Amino acid sequence: MSHDLKDALARSDQLFDRDALEAGIGRIAAEIDQAYADDGDHGDRPLLLTVMHGGLPFAAQLAMAMKTDLQFDYLHATRYRGATEGSGLEWRHRPATPLKGRRVLVADDILDEGHTLRAILDWCREQGAAETRVAVLALKVHDRRVLGVTADHVAVEVPDRYVYGYGMDYYEQGRNLPGIYAIKD
């Protein structure tokens, strides 16, 4: 089977276009703004942690849609390394910003099984984060999720198929596609 993006697009369905994704992102930006407004006075800005590389387009759109003043940092933890199936977790970069006592918003492209997110949430807790919220562009609908791993804010739900676009890759290609696509079964 070819790993060419053009071939993948020919055998894929577009699930969401840019307008639908931006509407979902706008909806959860308002939810997050409300959650932080109701949080009381914590004395500091929430820290937006972008999970690289896939979370970058989503996190940028989310931050621009929010009214809450945010501090930015990023992390890079991956199980995929360019493949379509996950393996052991590899930490490539941890945030430089101290998390102790901070409200943290983790922004990622997709919550699938949740192994990577579990490790990230555990790390945030170990670093002393006061609160950790999770925002994802897409939640894959299936019953294989790691126990206890959830997203607080979800822009769209996708079926249990291989999805790519809008940050998610197909063999390190297609992250900049302005929609989400799914390989046909």
pLDDT (tens digit, 9 = 90+) per residue, 82-100? 555 555 778 888 999 999 9
CATH number of the domain bearing residue 106? 3.40.50.2020
Mean pLDDT for the stretch of residues 12-41: 93
Locate 157 and state its tokens. Answer: 């739900």
Q: Is 89 within 8 Å of 116 (Cβ atoms)?
A: yes
pLDDT tens, residue by residue, 126-175: 999 999 999 999 999 999 999 889 999 999 999 999 999 999 999 999 99
How many structural domains comprise the chain? 1
Looking at residue 92, its pLDDT comes to 86
d(CA 51, CA 137): 12
pLDDT tens, residue by residue, 72-84: 999 998 865 555 5
What is the bridge-based pairing of β-strands 12-16 and 131-140? Answer: unpaired
Range of the domain at 96: 5-37+44-183
Full-model pTM: 0.91
